[in-house]
Amino acid sequence: MTKKKNNAISPTRTENYPEWYQQVVKSAELAETSAVRGCMVIKPWGYALWENIQKFLDSKLKETGHVNAYFPLFIPKSYLEKEAEHVDGFAKECAVVTHHRLEEDSKGGLIPAGELEEPLVVRPTSETIIGETYSKWVQSYRDLPILINQWANVVRWEMRTRLFLRTTEFLWQEGHTAHETQEEALDETHKIIRLYKNFLEEYMAIPIIIGEKTENERFPGAMKTLCIEAMMQDGKALQAGTSHFLGQNFSKASNIKFQNREGKNEFAWTTSWGVSTRLIGGLIMTHADDDGMIMPPKLSPNHVVIIPHFRDELYRDKINSYCNEIRMALSKESFGDRKISVLIDSRDINVGEKSWSWIKKGIPLRIEIGPKEIENQSLFVGIRDTMQKKSILKNDFINNISKILEDIQNRMFEKANNFQKLNTKDIKNINDFNNFFNEKNSNGFAWCHFCGDSQLEKKISDDMGVTIRLLPINSSISDNDKCIFTGKKSIGRVLFARSY
């Protein structure tokens, strides 16, 4: 009857990983490129996923005492100039607004007019404008801490873009906090990176390694950058989120001063931290397979889709009411913090095509309903992550829905976790290191003792395209531990990988 392909996505992951990724984004209807170079349209299915990420992360941030606010999209150029390292880091990728009006030219086109006295930079991040604001809000130690988050868009004029992973405009949350003491700010930096790790592992089913960035990889202007790194299915690392201890660099630049408990003026200690729509790219590259997206149940826009099979017009009404009955019953059940979300797909298209469209979108469970199911009071259930299909008694399914979804969520994490473990090696000498990263398609994570020389780090990056993703936060080292490259004393076991 129908031609049967082995899988829905072409090419497969092994055939061409980057192209496979693009095809998944497209086939799952998560996003598409737009008329504006480097900017994407996030489609409803992708945006619903982002809304769920927002919802759960936001509530975790609120639970830890943070509140939301909103700061301007535009930043006066002079603000950005105040922190020297920060300027160096972002200047090359800033979009700049220089005019505030358009006038018609003689050919019926429009030309910019009304040049601004001071150009406005479209925020690449908001440390400077938020810092300026905080300086007005803070006078006393009693005004601290300030724990504010904002959900916003930012613009970074990147040279090469990829949907979700690196786009010119992207959505994120950025937290900006100010504290009385260094210790408190450091605590905040650590608290947030752990919160991110928990969120990614618990909700996104993405196993995470936490660590600290080397100086080369640090956020411009930060004293310390903590990060969460995840392993994609091609063995490359994805930086999925960062938390920065900014010391007093930005408070000095923005003049965030307060009178301390001894009555002396002091600069506040600040932090900033964020995760972005890049998380969706990470979710795809962690879980999706050669049939498309696989949504973790906790974040999937819907948990279940019901697909009626109208074989025979005589059954149409019966099938419809059976579908509705199932939907009503399921909607009363919960999974985690959410009610079960059920769709009935009654589009007038071929059922095979309909099924495949949901497989590609990655909905956790599909239920197909025809006369047979009514007769047996059963459901024909397709489970996305295993691609298993089986008939289940209606009541068994409804009563166990939460457990079924929980199992999917856990399986997804376990699978990704095993993959990460399998592709992570302790490497003890330079030969093994070269072999590990020289073999094509044998990417992965390598833990190695390293001396901390940033010239050497740069050379390895230039020669092999392998970077230090992180230094462990609490490493215990003995005098016997030597750098595998230089034989000098080790600063700890650091994580090497190719990265996105």
How many other C-beta atoms can be found within 10 angstroms of the C-beta atom of residue 32?
Answer: 13
Q: Report in angstroms how near the CB of residue 276 gets to RNA at its nearest.
A: 4
Structure tokens at 64: 């830890």
Hey, is 429 helix, strand or coil? coil
Quick check: 138 and 234 in contact, CB under 8 A? no
154 in Cβ contact with 125 (< 8 Å): yes
Diameter over CA atoms, the chain: 85
387 lies in the site for RNA, by CB under 7 A? yes
179 Cα distance to chain centroid: 27
Spatial CB neighbours of 198, under 8 Å, sequence gap ≥ 6: 60
Q: Which is nearer to RNA, 79 or 273 (CB)?
A: 273
Is residue 242 at the binding interface for RNA, with CB under 7 A as the rule?
A: yes
What x/- string results for residues 179 through 218 when contact with RNA is judged by CB under 7 A? ----------------------------------------
Nearer to RNA, 141 or 322 (CB): 322
Minimum CB distance to RNA smaller for 167 or for 300 = 167
For RNA, the binding residue among 99, 100, 261, 311 (CB under 7 A) is: 311
Amino acid at the residue 295: M
For position 224 contacting RNA by CB under 7 A, the verdict is no
**Closer residue to RNA in complex, CB, 225/490:** 225
CB 142, min distance to RNA, A: 33
Query: What string of H, E and C letters represents the secondary structure of 431-446?
Result: HHHHHHHHCCCCCCEE
CA angle 14, 16, 22 (to 5 degrees): 120
Min dist. Cβ of residue 355 to RNA (A): 5
Residue among 141, 196, 203, 219 that touches RNA (CB under 7 A): 219
Distance of CA 350 to the CA centre of its chain: 35
Q: Determine the Cα–Cα distance for residues 241 and 422; give it in Å rounded to an integer.
A: 23
Phi, then psi, of 365 in degrees rounded to 5: -135, 135
Find the part of the chain contacting RNA (CB under 7 A) among 160-168, 177-185, 204-212, 251-259: 160-168
Nearest distance from residue 165's CB to RNA, in Å?
6
Distance spanning both ends of the chain, measured CA to CA: 43
| Contact window for RNA (CB under 7 A) among 68-76, 155-163, 416-424, 476-484 | 155-163
- Does 352 sit near RNA (CB under 7 A)? yes
Of residues 1 and 440, the one with the C-beta less far from RNA: 1
Q: Among residue numbers 106 through 125, which ones bind RNA (CB under 7 A)?
A: none
- 3-class DSSP state for residue 117? strand
Decide if residue 440 touches RNA (CB under 7 A).
no
Among 159, 440, 441, 479, which residue sits at the site for RNA (rule: CB under 7 A)? 159
The closest of 249, 272, 279 to 126, measured between CA atoms, is 272
- Of 363, 364, 359, 380, nearest to 308 by C-alpha is 380
CB of 95 to RNA, least distance (A): 12
Nearest-Å Rg of the Cα atoms of the chain is: 26
Q: Taking contact as CB under 7 A, which single stretch among the options 165-173, 192-200, 337-345, 488-496 is the one that binds RNA? A: 165-173
Q: How far apart are CA 404 and CA 394, in angstroms?
A: 13
Tell me which of 106, 107, 109, 160 binds RNA, using CB under 7 A: 160
Verify binding: residue 360, RNA, rule CB under 7 A.
yes
262-281 residues near RNA, rule: CB under 7 A? 274, 276-278
Task: Name the residue type at position 479.
Answer: D
Residue 306, by phi and psi: left (phi above 0), alpha (psi -120 to 50) or beta?
Answer: beta
Contact 315, 371 (CB under 8 A): yes
> Please, what is the minimum distance in Å from the beta carbon of residue 113 to RNA?
19
Binding-site string for RNA from residue 3 to residue 42, where x marks contact by CB under 7 A and - marks none: xxx-xx------------------x-----x---xx----
User: Which residues make up the interface to RNA (CB under 7 A)?
Assistant: 1-5, 7-8, 27, 33, 37-38, 89, 92-93, 156, 158-161, 165-168, 170, 219, 239-240, 242, 274, 276-278, 291, 309-311, 349-353, 355-357, 359-360, 368-373, 380, 382, 387, 389, 500
